[in-house]
């Protein structure tokens, strides 16, 4: 297998449970859903030599609870915070 230098691709989704159901119905092998401590939820689609990570918002209250420099998940712009 040729490496592209990418650990694994991410796909951001609005409804992780629904998208996970769709992938399972199409026959994909998946790990059970999980939750990152910073509020995003994740589901891994497993391939032979790679995985695809589906990511959604699991708990908005946790999104900015873990500092990452100046990075903020939410709000996407100050105008939406009002």
Tens-digit pLDDT profile for residues 33-45: 999 888 889 999 9
What pLDDT shows up at residue 80?
41
Stated pTM of the model:
0.73
| C-alpha 78: how far from chain center | 23
What pLDDT shows up at residue 72?
67
Question: Which regions of the chain are under pLDDT 50?
Answer: 77, 79-82
* Whole-number Å distance between alpha carbons of 53 and 8: 7
* Whole-number Å distance between alpha carbons of 29 and 12: 18
What pLDDT shows up at residue 24?
97
């Amino acid at each position: 297998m040729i490496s592209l230098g990418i650990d694994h691709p991410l796909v951001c989704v609005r409804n992780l449970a629904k998208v996970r159901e769709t992938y399972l119905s199409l026959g994909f092998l998946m790990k059970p859903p999980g939750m990152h401590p910073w509020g995003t939820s994740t589901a891994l689609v497993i391939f032979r030599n790679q995985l695809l990570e589906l990511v959604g918002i699991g708990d908005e209250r946790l999104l900015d609870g873990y500092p990452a420099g100046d990075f903020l998940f939410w709000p996407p712009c100050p105008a939406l915070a009002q």
